[in-house]
Structure 1
């Protein structure tokens, strides 16, 4: 049965410009260049003025510096072509260019490319070693199959029976399990030591057997790895001394030998450039007790609307007759000019939002940024900053979760300055960062032969005036990636 009814709903609809701004706000500085290049490739009406030839004649209205900060919900709607004026996209050069007002003069302004050394990958290195071994055609194919089955850590976690099936179906090579095992032993003699192991125990054992096995410490280390690895990983040292029949001093040497081994031999030959490079979005400097905040110059690209596109529109607009094709051309040019202006507006609003948010955080945590002492951090949540700058909590969250600030005592993610409040016995509210700092100091100073248990850490915090439950102490310790007392024990 069909039924009609009327409903009133309150909906918040984002304009395309607002969506574009939200996406840009989340982009960290290290990825902003890529995002701008994508826009430059997609929109010919947008140009990077820093790349324009110096010989190009500069017109009176070349640079775009619109002071508009907020987006009009209806700015994306079509207007009649007769109302469209190219002057809307221009402004006198006399006004200050937004792209220079954030220039902090840092070395990263040069945007130089970092040369990368050409290195063999982990798999290429193994293949090169395989090529040097005199092998039959069948063994060579098996060797290639084993190398191709290794994971990035250098382990062979694929069952041998599965590799036999792969060889049969993909290579049309019929082999026995013993053939694969024998070839596996050959590859396990390749560098780096421990490669092609099937588990951690075999990996460590392979590395130890490359050492001087006549050394009694190495012999004991092999025994520990092959027969008592669980006790070793759980640091049950008393049990190890009895099981292996060695003194505490000998066990200490054995443990040191095992700790020197590489549990992930595949990582040892990887090119390290895969790691994400961190480029700070902000810089805070201390000028005789006064903090100075600057925005990284990469956040202020020299973008402008293409002069050739504006001239093209002028030409079309002045045409005496406007047929359907000409109107379509004018509409296309207008759309590209709109898109370029919107993007520049979004970049500008991004700069203003970043500075506004970071400035509020800096003043809220002024004492901390002066000294770098985590105990000076005040309890601060997203709402505190959102209320100060009169913006939505989600906006502050987008800035805090993806932006970094460089200070005189390190580079930090903005999110790290936010923390919950804890009440002391005197009724004062302090940041839980202060409690974590005390915990870290206590653990760093503890006797590693008798590390402090969570119960003892709870007592120490109570002595400092922090009445916190043991489970909360355990939670903070886990958040700092500090293991339990038993696993911190050293000989």
Structure 2
């Protein structure tokens, strides 16, 4: 076998550390950006939070670093690297200028001052239960059993663990032997805690706990209790005729019972304390204002501090340059300092690129859906996919997707998730393409305006949409209705 040599050309695509860092930062919503910046401040001593009047990093440093972005410095460098350390570009004297990215809106400073990032401070749901537990006079053994039960209650307020499993946990983890009857007795006591309905094993028990609390308070809910105890399945499936026959109720009595039950809370723990935080409030990433027909976009960066390179680290480099004796330890320290400054500069540049990418992407979305942002009418939304915005901005589709993910924009008509503006197209009889969002809006309006005693079937909804000129199939109407979380006609029926 003979040996031979050959030349080959390969085309490889590799992501630099900066690109990876930028992609991660693009995915971070404004509400979490401050935490990410704090992490970087803790890890890199060369990065500092800017003070008022000094919210930038040295321009000369920035220009010189731009030519060295791909160079890695290591503490264990070769001997010739120690002998050829050039730090002149790191210590160049110069007047500081305004940074390349600004976190404050210069055009509307008073509006920027008014932006408030909400901070949620409260007692959690489980803390509330533990507080109520502390008010009971219990011995140590019973108290630990009660704590085990409270700790097993999920975020919605339900006890979905089997009693036998709770008994096993107490036996094996805390060396406490209890019977299932003792646990059941304690569960009954905890079910008297606030909010009403907690520690229930299922929805039926949860609703009955709330009705029984009202019954003890003197409210007339006895019939509603009977309905849930005897006809729970029929009630959930809206088989009202069977309930009326079984309990001898007229239409008005049944309507009163339904009103009593639908006012109950199916998730008594879900709206307390730290539960469902993502649903409790939204921090917008963008603000869009309508200034006499001119749309103006600003980026919410109230919670992102200004960043700059540490003056102390640059002073250390200056001292090194002025010194005459430069041993190996000092040179290693200088290389470490240069590495940290590089890392800080990269992070500042990534924040700058993040700001520019977010603004560019949102500007394209705003221009594409201009009519909606001027009127707030969902029927004016145009069909728009990620590729459309990628072509307008010159960005990759994956980058646009990262920007749109978990970001929100605040308008005069409410706060919307960026994904809300992306939708597929649907053809009309005239050949015009309209957004599926428009069709869903019309479908939702139809169902909202229907006679609740005789709700519209999917077939009827399809016919009505086709009369309006939308080429749509019945199965598509059913799919859109499910996406809107609207039940079928039978379950929408009301007395």
Q: Same fold (TM over 0.5)?
A: yes
Counterpart of 1:328?
332
**Which whole-Å deviations, capped at 9, do the CAs of 1:153-194 have from their partners, x for residues lacking one?**
232222222333334444444443333333333333333332
User: Is 1:222 matched up with 2:225?
Assistant: yes
SS for the counterpart of 1:298 is coil
1:267 positional shift: 3.3
CA distance 1:181–1:358, shift in 2 (3 Å): closer
1:76 to 71, 78, 102: 71
User: Is 1:438 matched up with 2:408?
Assistant: no
Residue ranges of structure 2 left out of the alignment (5+ in a row): 75-80
8 Å CA contact 1:66, 1:345 repeated in 2: no
8 Å CA contact 2:207, 2:265 repeated in 1: yes
RMSD: 3.4
1:15 positional shift: 0.9
SS for the counterpart of 2:416 is strand
SS for the counterpart of 1:425 is coil
1:115 positional shift: 6.6
User: Is 1:36 matched up with 2:32?
Assistant: no
Counterpart of 1:419?
423
1:365 positional shift: 1.4
User: Is 1:352 matched up with 2:356?
Assistant: yes
CA distance 1:16–1:88, shift in 2 (3 Å): farther
Counterpart of 2:490?
486
Deviation larger for 479-488 or 141-150: 141-150
Cα distance in structure 2, aligned partners of 1:96 and 1:50: 13
Counterpart of 1:371?
375
8 Å CA contact 2:103, 2:302 repeated in 1: no
| 1:290-305 equivalences in 2 (<5 Å) | 290-298=294-302, 301-305=305-309
Counterpart of 2:455?
451
**Which whole-Å deviations, capped at 9, do the CAs of 1:20-54 have from their partners, x for residues lacking one?**
11111221111111111111111121122226xx8
Cα distance in structure 1, aligned partners of 2:358 and 2:305: 15
SS for the counterpart of 2:269 is helix
CA distance 1:75–1:229, shift in 2 (3 Å): same
Counterpart of 1:13?
14
1:82 positional shift: 3.7
Counterpart of 1:23?
24
1:385 to 382, 389, 394: 389
CA distance 1:173–1:259, shift in 2 (3 Å): same
1:131 positional shift: 4.6
1:422 positional shift: 0.9
Cα distance in structure 2, aligned partners of 1:418 and 1:337: 40
Cα distance in structure 1, aligned partners of 2:262 and 2:92: 65
| 1:22-421 equivalences in 2 (<5 Å) | 22-50=23-51, 63-64=58-59, 75-78=70-73, 81-86=84-89, 92-93=95-96, 98-99=101-102, 102-103=105-106, 104-105=108-109, 109=113, 118-119=122-123, 121-133=124-136, 139-212=142-215, 218-267=221-270, 269-271=272-274, 274-275=277-278, 277-298=281-302, 301-421=305-425
1:217 positional shift: 6.0
**Which whole-Å deviations, capped at 9, do the CAs of 1:412-460 have from their partners, x for residues lacking one?**
1222111111110000111111111101111111111211111111111
8 Å CA contact 1:403, 1:414 repeated in 2: yes
Alignment coverage as a number of residue pairs: 481
SS for the counterpart of 2:323 is coil
Deviation larger for 296-305 or 243-252: 296-305
Deviation larger for 235-244 or 103-112: 103-112
SS for the counterpart of 1:253 is helix
Cα distance in structure 1, aligned partners of 2:217 and 2:37: 62
8 Å CA contact 2:104, 2:302 repeated in 1: no
Cα distance in structure 2, aligned partners of 1:202 and 1:264: 12
Cα distance in structure 2, aligned partners of 1:176 and 1:272: 32
Cα distance in structure 2, aligned partners of 1:481 and 1:4: 68
8 Å CA contact 2:60, 2:94 repeated in 1: yes
SS for the counterpart of 1:293 is strand
8 Å CA contact 1:367, 1:377 repeated in 2: yes
8 Å CA contact 2:59, 2:97 repeated in 1: no
Residue ranges of structure 1 left out of the alignment (5+ in a row): none
CA distance 1:296–1:106, shift in 2 (3 Å): farther
8 Å CA contact 1:48, 1:304 repeated in 2: yes
SS for the counterpart of 1:283 is strand
SS for the counterpart of 1:220 is helix
Cα distance in structure 2, aligned partners of 1:315 and 1:477: 70
Cα distance in structure 2, aligned partners of 1:391 and 1:210: 59
Cα distance in structure 1, aligned partners of 2:253 and 2:182: 40
8 Å CA contact 2:73, 2:339 repeated in 1: no
SS for the counterpart of 2:24 is helix
**Which whole-Å deviations, capped at 9, do the CAs of 1:106-135 have from their partners, x for residues lacking one?**
66658878675554x444444444454455
